[in-house]
Amino acid sequence: MGFFKLFRNEDRSPEGSAVGQSGDRATRHSSGLGELTKLISGKESLTILDLGPTSPQNISLLTGLGHRVYNEDVLLASFDPAYTSASEDGTKQIKVAEFLRENLSHNGQKFDVVLGWDIPDYLHEGLVKPSVERLAGIMKPGGVLLAFFHTKDAGPDAPYFRYHIAGKDSLSLQRGPQFRLQRVFNNRHIENLFKDFSNIKFFLARDNVREVLVIR
């Protein structure tokens, strides 16, 4: 997992800055979302898991289309002190088993769509691979996962955004809590991360972000 580290930063505290939480939003095109929209068009009663912060807009829109929506802010949950412990040398250790016992656990529920946004870039390194493996386990065959990954040009101070679906292929970005970018994946890392999935498609997006659509 060491190769994931490019912008490793142990100071992951969400506290400290509330900059950007004013609600100002910017809208941008999303090819990945557009492709996802095509894939699920005409389908009803899909089970959709949104891993981002609670978005009234996403919930309203997706439930309005007749889908069942699950919301789970995985990144925020990962900062729960209950999931960390200090090792002998003083470094923080993440309790992966405890985290997965209480998160990404849906009592056998399988999902058609997972909105992962750019959470893997901000998640504690010890949680990235286990969380993706768990996602593979809770998705239906043929299920679709949408994820974003920053490119190296984004830099370590790339702000964390909340993503709201604004249209069939457009997203509204709202500055969220001041999480720090933990690493940058290259294409090969992303392919390895989703090795349990059947297909992966890359889209180059604006804002130094690659969009990825992964088929279970």
Partner 1 sequence: MWKSPKPDERPTANTSVPVTNPPEIKKEFRPMEPVKSADSFRADVAHIGKSVLVKGELSGSEDLYLDGEVEGSIDLQEHNLTIGPHGRVRANVKAKDVIVHGKVDGNIQGTDRVELKRSAVLVGDISTQRIVIEDGAFFKGAIDIKKEAKPAVKAEAPKTFAAAASFNDQPTFTPQS
**Size, binding site for partner 1 by CB under 8 A:** 28
Rounded to a whole number of angstroms, the CA Rg of the chain reads: 17
As a whole number of angstroms, the distance between CA 139 and CA 69 comes to 14
What is the DSSP-derived secondary structure letter of residue 185? -
Name which of 116 and 183 has its Cβ closer to partner 1: 116
Q: 4, 125 in Cβ contact below 8 A?
A: yes
Q: How far apart are CA 54 and CA 43, in angstroms?
A: 24
How far, in Å, CA of 69 to CA of 59, rounded? 7
The greatest distance separating any two alpha carbons of the chain, rounded to the nearest whole angstrom, comes to 55
Binding mask 125-164 for partner 1 (x = CB under 8 A): ----------------------------------------
* Contact predicate 123/94, CB 8 Å: no
| 63 in contact with partner 1 (CB under 8 A) | yes
Q: Interaction with partner 1 in 90-109: which residues (CB under 8 A)?
A: 109
Place of tokens 């946004």: 117
Assess 73 for contact with partner 1 (CB under 8 A). Answer: yes
One-letter identity of residue 3:
F
- Kindly state whether residue 167 participates in binding partner 1, applying the rule CB under 8 A: yes
The verdict on 60 binding partner 1 (CB under 8 A) reads yes
**Which region, judged by CB under 8 A, interacts with partner 1, from 52-60, 118-126, 139-147, 208-216?**
52-60
Residue at 19: amino acid letter: V
**Could you say which of 12, 28, 68, 110 contacts partner 1 (CB under 8 A)?**
68
- Is residue 165 a contact residue for partner 1 (CB under 8 A)? yes
**Could you say which of 40, 100, 190, 200 contacts partner 1 (CB under 8 A)?**
40
Binding site for partner 1 (CB under 8 A): 23, 37-38, 40-42, 54, 56-57, 59-61, 63-66, 68-73, 77, 109, 165-168
